[in-house]
Structure 1
């Protein structure tokens, strides 16, 4: 029975009404699986067509203890950003992640502490219309 539960990968897609804009805040509250490999948070321009542009792909890799950020514009992935001050996720732990949209960047906070920034690559911002979360986490709340 346990295997089935582990195989179930959480997948959430939510619309960002009117698109992303400065001062907007997206909050993700969830719990990391007990044996996590990775999970990702993606800001999409098109929730249906995954080949469209991506405003932010935020990937957490537990084996490497890395967090990668990137964006895809006109079908091409840009330069990966990997710098983080610390690796904040622990297997089996709950977390609260906030994506604060500012004029120049998205600021990522984890449990109230600043983790990283990602400068906007997609303009205008309101082209970003959906939030997708998938991987080895259980979501409690997305707002």
Structure 2
């Protein structure tokens, strides 16, 4: 099981072996009490974002989107805000055939339909006001 431990935010780390069907990325961390939000991105090479997962506390939404050929797609904002400032969190992204299945703190949050082939994903990026303790890849 590959792991990224205590990365300094912002960070970009390669995903050993990339993403594949059934593979899970588990992110464990903490959210500061004054956080405006943070993002986790699954990136293809240097210029495409397969999945942008942006926690926005000021809007009480978690925005999902993709950046393909320099253009952002349609934002997905359903699901509200299950994360709480000042508390630890766990986010799990499971690569399914047609989507990423996302769980937050052990509860299903959303499915994000693949807009780009998942096998092209090479890196994970993190940015914003968050402390990441560990990112693991299973499967």
Which TM-score applies when normalising by structure 2?
A: 0.88
The residue aligned with 2:124 is 131
1:88 aligned residue: 82
Structure 1 position 61 matched with structure 2 position 60: no
Deviations 1:63-82 (A, max 9, x none): 11111000011121111111
Higher strand proportion, which one? 2
Larger radius of gyration: 1
More helix per residue: 1 or 2? Answer: 1
Q: Is the 8 A contact 1:42 1:133 kept in 2?
A: yes
Aligned-pair RMSD on alpha carbons? 1.2
Secondary structure of the corresponding residue to residue 10 of structure 2: strand
How far, CA to CA, are the matches of 2:68 and 2:10 in structure 1? 23
Unaligned runs of 5+ in 2: 1-7
The runs of at least 4 consecutive aligned structure 1 residues that moved more than 6 Å come to: none
Distance in 2 separating the partners of 1:42 and 1:58: 6
Question: Does structure 2 retain, via aligned residues, the 8 Å contact 1:18–1:126?
Answer: no
Aligned length: 129
Stretches of structure 1 that go unaligned for 5 or more consecutive residues are: 1-8
Q: TM-score when scaled to structure 1?
A: 0.85
